[in-house]
Amino acid sequence: MNEDNMDIKETINSLKKEIDRLNEYVQNLEIIETQHQEMNGKLHKELAAMKIANKKLEDKILEFTRPTKRRMDDI
């Protein structure tokens, strides 16, 4: 009976250690997920700003490369 109690106590201790390890793992995943969401939000803002800047640059380039209207005298 005494040996059975020792096995049960060892099993309980082992399970408690496993629970602690899994809790730490979950906490780490939550930290990673939060940081990922923050980074993703920042990247989306940067992407939107870059799209606007690219569109403005494209408009300026087109402004300089569009053929000007020719007058009849130029032909």
State pLDDT tens for residues 17-55.
999 999 999 999 999 999 999 999 999 999 999 999 999
Look at residue 71 and tell me if it is in a domain. no
pLDDT given at position 26: 98
Look at residue 8 and tell me if it is in a domain. no
pTM of the prediction? 0.60
Look at residue 17 and tell me if it is in a domain. no
Look at residue 48 and tell me if it is in a domain. yes
Look at residue 41 and tell me if it is in a domain. yes
Mean of the pLDDT values across residues 4-18?
A: 94
Separation of alpha carbons 30 and 36, rounded Å: 10
List helix spans (H) across 1-75: 2-65
Q: State the residue range of the domain holding 54.
A: 37-61
Look at residue 14 and tell me if it is in a domain. no
Look at residue 29 and tell me if it is in a domain. no
The count of domains in the chain is 1
Separation of alpha carbons 73 and 55, rounded Å: 35
